[in-house]
Structure 1
Amino acid sequence: MTRQLPPAAVERRSFSEVRSNGRRLEGYAATFTSSAQIGQFTETIAPGAFRDALAGDVLALLDHDEGRLLGRTRSGTLRLSEDSRGLAFSLDLPETQAGRDVLALAERGDLGGMSFGFTVPDGGETWEGRKRTLRSIGLKEISVVSSWPAYPDTELALRAAHDARGTLDDRHRRLIIAELGAWD
């Protein structure tokens, strides 16, 4: 059965895997094949869904707020790639208030995860009853979010390279922050 949601503004989905390395955040903005309950339907993302979107200019925002820009692919401060797990990102945080806020929250373990804003091109989704599979995604932005992720199978982690004394700080320290399933 082919069914489409009404054409509307950009859709948003959240995940929660991020690592910090100095002023760089790294992780996954989306993962493949994990399910999320979105209103009255369940949604999964098929491997390869982001392939066509990676060539465009994608923004990195804080909480989907266009006024709090953190980076973009066009300038090279946001790098995106698709691997067998999902949509990987590497983001160089700016020396702005938003960038400092994200870094401080990541270091404290207070961030809720990652999210992304997207559109679905014609033919980019399939439906089986109330299950939607995204097969092609028009990626507009990824966001560092302070709330809960929509997809529970990812983690938000912090990785610091050096502490203030210049020594290795908890090699690849990982902090699991939030899972949507814990809040159901």
Structure 2
Amino acid sequence: MRKREMRTFNITKLQARDATDQQPPKVTGYAAVFNSKTSIGDYFEEVIEPGAFSRTLSENQDIRALFNHNWDHVLGRTKSGTLRLEEDERGLRFEIELPNTSLGRDLAESMQRGDINQCSFGFYIEEGKEMWDYTADPALRTILEVELYEISIVSIPAYEETEASLVRSKQLDSEVEQRINIIKKINHALSIK
């Protein structure tokens, strides 16, 4: 069963460019960084492997950029060319041409002031596209491949948003906790013998 998940990160090397010469303002940065451990609500740590987005970027030609994961606030779209995504050696790089709307102008102003500087992405993981190491404390999840459906510019700090994402996915928390308890019992039984 596929589960919808979201992760939030600080936008690395964020740049917001003013509209000049009749060009719309652009936002660039990294929506995800490879090989960087991220704590997911003190339940487990997570690492995204290089190449995790390559299949979805080559196959899915309709990924959206949103504001705060709100599908009513579309900032750009790969299908229209206003959102560009690519993997490089660092991670998932993006560029958004902001719309000339009240949302686009307000977001550009908030970013220029430094009030908003985080990014998030929404994804699915197919079975077999992740690895778990329950011997690590906390457990370590390695994401090998995702099906990306959106990236978002967000106003909530990374740690708080990560917690909020986990609240929306209580089933994942429960599964991880059950697996950790099983591993602890096995390790305890092995140490007795």
* TM bucket normalised to smaller: 0.7 to 0.9
Higher relative helix content = 2
| Aligned-residue CA RMSD (Å) | 1.2
| Aligned counterpart, 2:16 | 20
Q: Is 1:63–1:146's contact at 8 Å kept on the other side of the alignment?
A: yes
Runs of 4+ in 1 over 3 A off after TM superposition: none
Establish whether residue 90 from structure 1 lines up as the match of residue 95 from structure 2. Answer: yes
2:2/2:127 contact within 8 Å kept = no
- 1:142 partnered with 2:154: no
Q: Distance in 1 between matches of 2:84 and 2:129?
A: 23
Cα shift readout 1:60-97 (whole Å, capped 9, x = no counterpart): 00000001000110000000000000000010000112
TM-score, length of structure 2 as denominator length: 0.72
What is the rounded CA distance, in whole Å, between the counterparts of 1:51 and 1:123 in structure 2?
Answer: 16
Residue 57 of structure 2, aligned match among 54, 58, 65: 54
Matches of 2:111 and 2:117, distance apart in 1 = 9
Q: Partners of 2:79 and 2:107 in 1: how far apart?
A: 21
1:72 aligns with 2:77: yes
1:130-184 deviations in Å (ceiling 9; x for gaps): 110001010000000001125xxxxxxxxxxxxxxxxxxxxxxxxxxxxxxxxxx
For residues 29 and 19 of structure 1, what CA distance do their matches in structure 2 show?
13
TM-score (structure 1 length as normaliser)? 0.75
- What SS does the corresponding residue of 2:106 show, helix, strand or coil? helix
Q: Which residue in the other structure is 2:191 paired with?
A: none
- CA distance in structure 2 between the partners assigned to 1:63 and 1:26 by the alignment: 16
Contact 1:112 1:147 in 2 (8 A): no
Q: Which runs of 5+ in 1 are unaligned?
A: 1-5, 151-184
Identity percentage of aligned residues: 44
SS in 2 for 1:110: coil
| 1:23-172 alignment, distance < 5 Å | 23-39=25-41, 40-55=43-58, 56=60, 57-129=62-134, 130-150=139-159
Aligned residues: 144
Paired with 2:72 and 2:145, the residues of 1 have a C-alpha distance of 27
Report which of the two structures shows the higher radius of gyration computed on alpha carbons: 2
Shift of 1:7: 3.8
Q: Secondary structure at 2:158's aligned position in 1?
A: coil
Distance of 1:62 and 1:73 partners within structure 2? 15
Check whether the contact 2:2–2:125 (CA below 8 A) recurs between aligned residues: no
